[in-house]
Amino acid sequence: MIDIHPPQHGAMTPRDILTHLAIVVAGILIAIGLEQSVEYIHHRHQLEQARSTIRAELTHDRTAVEYDIAVLKTAEQTMQRNTALLRSSPESNNQPVSVLEYTWQLHFLRDDAWQDAKASGITAYMPDTERAQIGFIYSGAVERERLFATSYLTDTSIANSIAHRATVIKGLTATDREELLKLTADTEGQIVSLRALLEVGDRVLKTYFDAD
């Protein structure tokens, strides 16, 4: 035999239904709000980590920039001296080819932290001005520095190879001298351009660090 029990409460009124719906909606909104808050806190934590890593990387880059600017000033003078030696009388110049200096002592700048931040999408949570400033530093100083520095390295390597075809400067053939003069001129141009670029980068980096 089936027992049928009467309901413990009366039929729901429209007001009861609306109250129940309001409670459900409020619960959903609270859940969504909590989820968004957790997500916001997580992204803020990721952003602070990215900022810290980027700052450490730019600290390294600033030191490297200052070092490279000093090295490039000396390198420019060295290229000018090389040009003078190569243009001297080929018959009388008994100096060893080692006086022709084609050295490369630069520090490549880093951008791993910035690339990781962009790849993760965390840069989207940076204020526009901060993102633009850091992006300018990396695209202006780091990317172009690599381009000029790589060309500079290539030309000095080739020049070194040509210069050491002889033991003394007067032993270089006319063709060797012409090649070296062109490479020296190209290298000097790369040095001047790279130094100007790094000086701009140094000023921007100073502004970045002074903003704290």
pLDDT of res. 82: 94
pLDDT of res. 34: 63
pLDDT at 4 over 70: no
Angle at 104 between CA 182 and CA 154, to 5 degrees: 50
Of 38-47, 158-167, 181-190, the poorest mean pLDDT is in 38-47
Assign 38 a pLDDT band (cuts: 50, 70, 90): low
pLDDT at 5 over 60: no
The pTM assigned to this predicted structure is 0.73
pLDDT in tens, 124-151: 888 998 898 888 888 877 777 888 888 8
pLDDT of res. 30: 73
Closest CA to 70 of 101, 98, 107: 107
- The domain spans of the chain are 14-210
